[in-house]
């Protein structure tokens, strides 16, 4: 039968397990020990592509319990990481602890996203000889749209207005909004998401500029209608809205935006980050926002979930969402397609979206 599912108990009760080709014990095992509910349906739809390639075991709940993850992944050649942060200790346990570990140990981890460096120690994976794959550009539209959801909340405060009117109020002059048309958007990171944001901004009538780092193809500025600016401080100082879309790359973008850069934000500039918190130097954004003159909207944080006592929660005038910018139906479809394709490529001896090679 392909595929089929059944129920099996675990330490916290009944966890539903979905398995494909369970009778094919001659095939290598792929395990996803934890998953977001929204990913289950799209992933199941992609699994027929692995028929006669690998059997798949999907645990249909989410956990970050390291012992449980290790237990569930026992015997797997490939692990699909559906969101848990893998500590160095857990990565060693999953891989067998040494390069080329014993048979049946995890030799490949497929991450359900792009920013895998935030979840797995890539240097250690390389040392252990574990291939790491990710997904690319699956969420360009999703994150770009969420960027504008945040921006529109800052300028029109729809959520606050909705709450007020349902509580019996009626907005007064203090609830006047800001108009986006004619304002300048400064984009830090003109990749797939940043380029999509630029095109949406132009549809709103905004003037768009982007930081030219030397790594972005010149034609991308022309295609997205963004004016290239060589100096980051100049881009920040000259923008009415600053939006961050840099990938997190150790040794390249981690901590790239500094407190000195953020000091060039003029009062009233709207600041948005839907990329990774770690591309900003530790403490730099908090210090700038605590001055109280920069409306901001954030979807990413240094520590996730955001601790209850995090000072960001106490700053008035900012909008916070729980790292959900990438979570749309379209993004899940493309994400799971790439995940399954990476698994197929691994077993075929090919490379696809390889961040760390096992060799």
Integer Cα distance of 263 and 288 in angstroms? 7
Adjacent-strand bridge partners of 78: 30, 108
Q: Find the catalytic residue in 107, 131, 157, 276.
A: 276
Catalytic residue among 323, 327, 333, 337: 323
Q: How far apart are CA 93 and CA 267, in angstroms?
A: 50
Asked if residues 280 and 255 have their Cβ atoms less than 8 Å apart, the reply is: yes
- State the chain's maximal CA–CA distance in angstroms: 71
Measured distance CA(128)–CA(107) in Å, rounded: 9
Active site residue 276: yes
Q: Are 224 and 200 contacting, i.e. CB atoms less than 8 angstroms apart?
A: no
Pick the catalytic residue: 16, 23, 71, 304?
A: 304
Q: Which of 61, 75, 58 is nearest to 21 (CA)?
A: 58
304 is catalytic: yes
User: Do residues 82 and 62 lie in contact, with contact meaning Cβ atoms separated by under 8 Å?
Assistant: yes
Active site residue 323: yes
CA distance 110 to 132: 6
Catalytic positions are 276, 304, 323
């Amino acid at each position: 039968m392909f595929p089929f599912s059944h129920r099996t108990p675990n330490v916290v009760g009944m966890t539903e397990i979905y398995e494909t080709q369970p009778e094919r014990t001659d095939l290598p095992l792929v395990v996803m020990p934890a998953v977001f509910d929204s990913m289950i349906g799209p992933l199941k739809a992609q699994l027929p592509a692995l028929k006669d390639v690998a059997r798949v075991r999907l645990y249909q709940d989410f956990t970050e319990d390291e012992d449980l993850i290790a237990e569930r992944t026992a015997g797997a050649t490939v692990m699909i990481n559906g969101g848990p942060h893998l500590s160095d200790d857990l990565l060693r346990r999953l891989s067998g602890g040494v390069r080329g570990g014993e048979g049946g140990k995890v030799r490949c981890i497929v991450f359900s996203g792009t920013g895998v460096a935030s979840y797995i120690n890539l240097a250690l994976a390389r040392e252990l000889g574990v291939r790491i794959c990710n997904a690319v550009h699956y969420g360009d539209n999703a994150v770009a749209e969420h960027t504008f959801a945040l921006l529109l909340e800052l300028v029109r405060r729809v959520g606050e207005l909705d709450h007020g009117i349902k509580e019996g109020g009626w907005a007064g002059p203090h609830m006047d909004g800001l108009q986006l048309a004619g304002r300048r958007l400064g984009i830090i990171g003109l990749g797939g998401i940043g380029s999509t944001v630029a095109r949406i901004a132009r549809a709103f009538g905004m003037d768009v500029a982007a930081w030219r780092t030397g790594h972005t193809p010149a034609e991308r500025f022309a295609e997205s209608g963004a004016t290239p600016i060589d100096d980051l401080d100049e881009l920040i100082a000259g923008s009415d809205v600053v939006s961050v879309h840099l990938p997190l790359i150790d040794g390249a973008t981690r901590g790239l935006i500094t407190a000195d850069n953020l000091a060039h934000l003029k009062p009233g500039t709207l600041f948005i980050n839907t990329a990774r918190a770690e591309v900003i130097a530790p403490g730099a954004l908090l210090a700038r926002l605590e001055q109280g003159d920069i409306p901001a909207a954030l979807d990413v944080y240094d520590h996730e979930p955001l601790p209850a006592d995090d000072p960001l929660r106490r700053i008035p005038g900012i909008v916070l969402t729980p790292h959900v910018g990438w979570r749309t139906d379209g993004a899940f479809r493309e994400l799971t397609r790439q995940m399954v394709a990476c698994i197929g490529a691994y077993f075929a001896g090919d490379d696809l979206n390889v961040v760390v090679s096992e060799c």
